[in-house]
Structure 1
Amino acid sequence: MNLAFLLLAPLAAIVLLAAPLVPVYRGVTTGKKAKRSVIANLCAFAGVCVLAFVLPIGNLVSAETAAAVSGAAAGMGYIAAALVTGLSCLGAGIAVAAAAPAAIGAVSEDPKSFGKAMIFVVLGEGVAIYGLLISILILNRL
């Protein structure tokens, strides 16, 4: 392969990963601009997935692992592990965002309800831990 291509492919992946951070840096949070930033984020993620699937960027896997699992299957396994971790953490964040303010309100009205309120907040965080465990199991299979 061409040396310029080997240098530009990882650079393209880095640019695709950093592109959605530009609207966040500018402070865009509401309206049509927020929709555009979410769409840009999804397009950048799809671009990185295509680059990771089509182009073998770097030798991130040892020779024994590469012999055991074909390149495409290993790439899909890594994408699966990343999706499991990312989506479970996103779900845990949504759960904690809903449970924590309710727990704070309950504790402010009745300080004795602190233990019960914290159980619901911790249950939301358990989703992220389960996702991390599943991604570790996926990575151990590769």
Structure 2
Amino acid sequence: MSAWIIALPVIAGGAVVTRLLRRRGRCALRLLVAVNVVMAAAALAVTAAALAAGPASAAARPPAPAGNWAALLGAAVAVAGSCVGAGIAVAYTGSAALAAMSERPELFGRAIVIVGLAEGIAIYGLVVAILLLGKV
């Protein structure tokens, strides 16, 4: 959560700098370089702080019980199977979509929808795995 609190102002600042870069040439470029130097210094400070801290202890979370192997195996099979199936589906639909678009370029929107539906298979497997892991 705290990472997002830090990241949102940085993203907003990047958007402002990008707008300035589009409107003003040389001044905006200097501002962009200055922002990059500040960001590099902040990254160096965070790295130094992380290296100065001691190692984290792994005792904060209790170990998982040994009886959950079936749910973990089911989640692994769900993700692996759906990803393999999605890969095969995207291979066939993607090549067919490219062939159709080479003949009729106006079919781009329909072809992308069909390829997106094939990619949805992997998301279904991920949802099933999350549901199974929720039972652990």
Question: Between Structure 1 and Structure 2, whose CA radius of gyration is higher?
Answer: 2
Structure 1 stretches of 4+ with a deviation exceeding 2 A read none
Q: What aligned pairs does 1:91-102 form with structure 2 within 5 A after superposition?
A: 91-102=85-96
- How many residues are treated as equivalent by the alignment? 76
Residue number in structure 1 paired with 2:119: 125
- Residue in structure 1 matched with residue 133 of structure 2 by the alignment: 139
TM-score under structure 2 normalisation?
0.53
1:76 match = 70
Counterparts of 1:111 and 1:83 in 2: how far apart (Å)? 38
Q: How big is the shift at 1:112? A: 0.5
Q: Deviations over 1:27-60 (max 9, x none)?
A: xxxxxxxxxxxxxxxxxxxxxxxxxxxxxxxxxx
Equivalent positions of 1:28-107 (< 5 A) are 62-63=62-63, 65-66=64-65, 71-72=66-67, 74-107=68-101
CA distance in 1, matches of 2:113, 2:100: 13
1:62, CA displacement in angstroms? 3.0
- 1:136 and 1:120 map into 2 onto residues whose CA distance is 25
With the length of structure 1 as denominator, give the TM-score of the two structures: 0.51
Q: Distance in 2 between matches of 1:62 and 1:79?
A: 20
Unaligned stretches of 5+ in structure 1? 1-60
- 1:97-121 CA-partner distances (Å, limit 9, x unpaired): 1100000011111110000011111
The structural deviation recorded for 1:76 is 1.1
Identity among equivalent pairs (%): 42
Q: Which runs of 5+ in 2 are unaligned?
A: 1-60
SS at match of 2:87: helix
Residues 19-30 of structure 1: matches in 2 within 5 Å? none
What is the Cα deviation at residue 83 of structure 1? 0.3
Q: Which amino acid aligns with 2:91?
A: A
Secondary structure of residue in 1 paired with 2:101: helix
Aligned-residue Cα RMSD (Å) equals 1.4
